[in-house]
Structure 1
Amino acid sequence: MTFEIRVICASGDADRVSGALAAAFQTGAVRRYPTRDGRRTRLYVTAGHRDSSTNPIHTESE
């Protein structure tokens, strides 16, 4: 199952946020757009859940 994640963050945090999402989920390319006020960044990521074989920290019972 895939889903879309949207995050609005400070422009300087965009790389850190993208990395954290990639570590937590199976992600595709991150699409970046400025917010309407131009002061922050919108990140759009298509993601899927990692299974226990790709993310051994999380088990099926969690």
Structure 2
Amino acid sequence: MTFDIRIICDHHDTERVTAALADAFTTGTPRTYPTRDGMRTRLYLTADHKPTPTGEEPA
């Protein structure tokens, strides 16, 4: 089941935030847009839970 994530962050944090989300989820290509005031960035990602490794119980 996929879901969408939207995050508003400082421009210099976009790579770090995108990498952290990719570690936690299976993500698509991030889409970035400036906020209305132009001071921050809006990140949009489509994500899914990572598959459970074979032999492990889901958390």
Partner of residue 32, structure 1: 32
Quote the RMSD (CA, aligned, Å): 1.7
C-alpha distance in 2, partners of 1:52/1:32?
A: 29
CA displacement 1:18-51 (0-9 Å, x = unmatched): 0000010000000000000000000000000012
Within 2, Cα distance between the matches of 1:50 and 1:15? 20
Aligned to 2:45: 45
Supply the distance in 1 between the matched residues of 2:57 and 2:5 (Cα, whole angstroms). 22
Structure 2 unaligned regions, length at least 5: none
Cα shift at 1:52: 1.4
Amino acid at match of 1:18: T
Following the alignment from structure 2 to structure 1, what is the Cα–Cα distance between the partners of residues 53 and 25?
13
Q: Secondary structure at the match of 1:29?
A: coil
Paired residues, number: 58
With normalisation by structure 2, the TM-score equals: 0.90
Alignment-mate amino acid for residue 15 of structure 1: E
**3-state SS of 2:51 partner:** coil
TM-score, length-scaled by structure 1: 0.86
